[in-house]
């Protein structure tokens, strides 16, 4: 099953999925972003046309990757899902310093995990929305203590709830540290999505991570020439990683503090511009389809038998 903001759906109901996008983001340090910093109705009115264009371009499911203290708002997401016709997934979990409240530095791994497990089991506040995955962020290089704590808490949460971890992780050195911690804790690496994997130029890291079961997310499509990402994908496909690849753009979003949310990068160009360019470049339609349908259905499925079900 897949947990959306409007309830559980069957895996196959996800359809065509963008695995890493954003509706609302507020880069306010020390976890001080609150809902009064923006107008919910305005956010919905600004973002809705972009989601309608995305739906009309052929997308069925939108994975929103803004965690708490960085822009997660389940009330906005519910309204946008209802009005756009898209399935939307949200998350539990926290981002990284300096966008963390002080208490995160002070509490234990277990107490941090308890917060996220409670959200998974009982919902986000009184919204009635349950998270469909765990979203965290890790620093570049070997993990600093607070980000290692966040990773370990995410692992505990995933083990208790069956939710997959999506982790903002720039560079292969951090991924090696992640793999070490997973081995130590006995965690199944297939329950971990390496977000921004296309930031690492050395394909040896991707091969090592995927060989352990990790999902490799190529998710900055549109931020540089399409040819660059086509070349990245060709290398990953030639390395035999087709069944471990996810695609997205890291696009959007309503930026808190800017007039009308600032400049929103639209979501639909993935379908109207990138896919045609990728086909012209030589990538196969059937392979692209697998990366945006079959693979997300596997990656985001709630692990069978977990307590969240």
DSSP per-residue string spanning 135-188: EEEE-SSSPPHHHHHHHHHHHHHHHHH-PPEEEEE-SHHHHHHHHHHHHHHT--
Place of tokens 């990366």: 291
pLDDT at 304: 72
CB 32 within 8 A of CB 68: no
pLDDT at 83: 98
Domain 2-299 has CATH 3.20.20.140: yes
pLDDT at 309: 45
| Closest C-alpha among 235, 161, 114 to residue 216 | 235
In the chain, where are the structural domains located? 2-299
CB 229 within 8 A of CB 218: yes
pLDDT tens, per residue, the chain with 309 residues: 999 999 999 999 999 999 999 999 999 999 999 999 999 999 999 999 999 999 999 999 999 999 999 999 999 999 999 999 999 999 999 999 999 999 999 999 999 999 999 999 999 999 999 999 999 999 999 999 999 999 999 999 999 999 999 999 999 999 999 999 999 999 999 999 999 999 999 999 999 999 999 999 999 999 999 999 999 999 999 999 999 999 999 999 999 999 999 999 999 999 999 999 999 999 999 999 999 999 999 999 998 755 444
User: What is the total residue count of the chain?
Assistant: 309
pLDDT at 85: 98
Report field, pTM of the whole predicted structure over 0.85: yes
Task: Please tell me the distance from the alpha carbon of residue 77 to that of residue 249, in angstroms, as a whole number.
Answer: 19
């Amino acid at each position: 099953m897949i947990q959306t903001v409007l309830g559980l759906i069957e895996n196959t109901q996800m359809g065509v999925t963008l695995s890493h996008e954003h509706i609302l983001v507020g880069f306010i340090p020390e976890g001080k972003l609150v809902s009064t910093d923006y107008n919910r109705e305005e956010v919905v009115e600004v973002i809705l046309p972009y989601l309608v264009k995305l739906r009309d371009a052929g997308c069925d499911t939108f994975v929103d990757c803004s965690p708490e203290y960085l822009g997660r708002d389940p009330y906005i997401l519910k309204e946008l899902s209802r009005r756009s016709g898209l399935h939307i997934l949200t998350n539990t979990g926290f981002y990284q310093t300096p966008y963390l409240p002080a208490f995160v530095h002070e509490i234990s791994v277990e107490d941090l995990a308890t917060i996220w497990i409670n959200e998974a089991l009982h919902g986000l506040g009184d919204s009635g929305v349950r998270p469909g995955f765990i979203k965290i962020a890790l620093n570049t290089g070997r993990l600093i203590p607070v980000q290692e704590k966040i990773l370990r808490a995410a692992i505990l949460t995933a083990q208790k709830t069956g939710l997959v971890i999506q982790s903002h992780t720039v560079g292969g050195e951090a991924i090696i540290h992640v793999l070490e911690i997973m081995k130590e804790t006995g965690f199944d690496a297939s329950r971990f999505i390496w977000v921004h994997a296309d930031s690492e130029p050395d394909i040896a890291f991707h091969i090592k991570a995927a060989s352990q079961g990790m999902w490799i997310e190529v998710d900055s499509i549109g931020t540089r020439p399409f040819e660059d990402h086509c070349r990245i994908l060709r290398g990953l496909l030639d390395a035999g990683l087709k069944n471990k690849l996810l695609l997205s753009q890291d696009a959007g979003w309503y930026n808190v503090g800017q007039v009308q949310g600032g400049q929103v990068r639209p979501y639909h160009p993935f379908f109207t511009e990138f896919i045609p360019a990728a086909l012209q470049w030589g990538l196969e339609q059937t392979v692209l389809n697998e990366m945006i349908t079959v693979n997300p259905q596997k990656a985001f499925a709630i692990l069978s038998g977990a307590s969240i079900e």
